[in-house]
Amino acid sequence: MLNSIWIYEVILFLFAISLICYGIDFIKSNWKINKIALWLLSSTWLLQTAVIIYDVFYGKNLPILTLNDGIYMYAWVLLTFSLIMNRIFPIHFMVFFTNIFTFFVLWLAISLYTEQNVAESGIQFIHEILIAHIVFTIIAYGFLTLSFILAIMYLIQFRLLKNKQGIKWMWRFTNLTKLDTYSFSAVKIGVPFLFVGLLLGILWAHMSGEEFYWLDLKTIGSITLLGIYVAYLCLRWVGGYRGKAISVFNSATFLVLLVNFFLFSTLSNFHF
């Protein structure tokens, strides 16, 4: 594989952003987001292909002779199939889950490469994974907090209107439909960021050599939090829940987020 860590950082970054876009499109079909995701995925494939071409023509190496190279080629083949499926017969569910699996395979190839080249660049790469994990998670928490605020505004406005006091406050709070829609939109964006951030955190823990526990409170809390927000999306998207009920659910879920961030982080074996 090409001996330049930055190219793999760019590949993984583009792939991660593409996964987020596909996640948003998966939750609520949006052709503009799908186009951006496809463009990012195509860019990832082009960079992967460039690395393979460099190995063959300049490195004089057929990139299938070692386990590491074989895994990298496996990821490239999966990504190629994903692009073909997206182009010829777009089966969105299959493309989305194929890309998630491919991301794991590609990350495995790059992590093995990093472990085999335990130098300053490899240590820097692992450190940058941690930074990416923190950044993606904080962005997710930002969107989910915004969704919570909008849900609370919905409940306050609902109460005021029920007591016939909401008319004079309408211009400050905006109408209930918009508050409900904006709150849902914030969760739609936040959940894919939270999912990728969780992936990055797990992968960092394994690559860095830190003691990682699946039964650690922070790990359990983060997975539970993601599961609850996915349940929120299912209730909204599949179950058709709207208005007060889903806003109450959203508000309660945010309390889980606060507990996970402030309490479980302090009780974790490898956080803070």
d(Cα 159, Cα 50) in Å, to the nearest integer?
59
d(Cα 171, Cα 153) in Å, to the nearest integer?
12
- Contacts of residue 6, defined as CB under 8 A and 6 or more positions apart, other chains included, come to none
CA atoms within 13 A on the CB side of 209: 7
**pLDDT value, residue 46:** 93
**pLDDT value, residue 25:** 77
The structure's pTM equals: 0.66
d(Cα 174, Cα 96) in Å, to the nearest integer?
35
d(Cα 174, Cα 157) in Å, to the nearest integer?
9
Please state, for a pLDDT cut of 90, what percent of the chain lies above it: 4
Domain boundaries, the chain: 5-117, 126-267
What is the longest distance spanned by two Cα atoms in the chain? 78
Give me the residue label for tokens 């955190």. Answer: 201
Higher-confidence residue: 174 or 32? 32
**Whether the predicted pLDDT of 91 surpasses 60:** no
**pLDDT value, residue 43:** 92
**What is the overall mean pLDDT for the chain?**
77
Nearest to 27 by CA among 120, 124, 93: 93
**pLDDT value, residue 179:** 84
How many residues are given for the chain? 272
- Contacts of residue 54, defined as CB under 8 A and 6 or more positions apart, other chains included, come to 2
Give per-residue pLDDT as tens, 232-267: 988 887 777 888 888 899 889 888 888 877 766 565
Higher-confidence residue: 192 or 93? 192
**Whether the predicted pLDDT of 47 surpasses 70:** yes
Highest mean pLDDT among 8-12, 66-70, 159-163 belongs to 8-12
Higher-confidence residue: 47 or 239? 47
Give me the residue label for tokens 């590949």. Answer: 11
d(Cα 184, Cα 245) in Å, to the nearest integer?
13
C-alpha separations of 85 from 26, 39, 44 in Å: 15, 14, 16
The answer to whether 21 and 40 are in contact (CB under 8 A) is yes
Give me the residue label for tokens 């609370």. Answer: 152
d(Cα 152, Cα 244) in Å, to the nearest integer?
10
Cβ atoms within 10 A of the Cβ of 161, count?
16
Least confident of 13-17, 45-49, 106-110, 207-211: 207-211
**pLDDT value, residue 100:** 82
Q: Per the structure block, which two tokens stand in for 35?
A: 């186009």
Give per-residue pLDDT as tens, 95-126: 777 788 888 888 777 777 766 655 545 566 66
Nearest to 74 by CA among 50, 94, 44, 104: 104
Q: State the average pLDDT over residues 179-183.
A: 87
Give per-residue pLDDT as tens, 138-154: 888 888 888 888 888 88
Cα angle 143-204-258, degrees, rounded to a multiple of 5: 35
Q: State the average pLDDT over residues 8-26.
A: 83
**pLDDT value, residue 272:** 47
Q: State the average pLDDT over residues 215-235.
A: 85
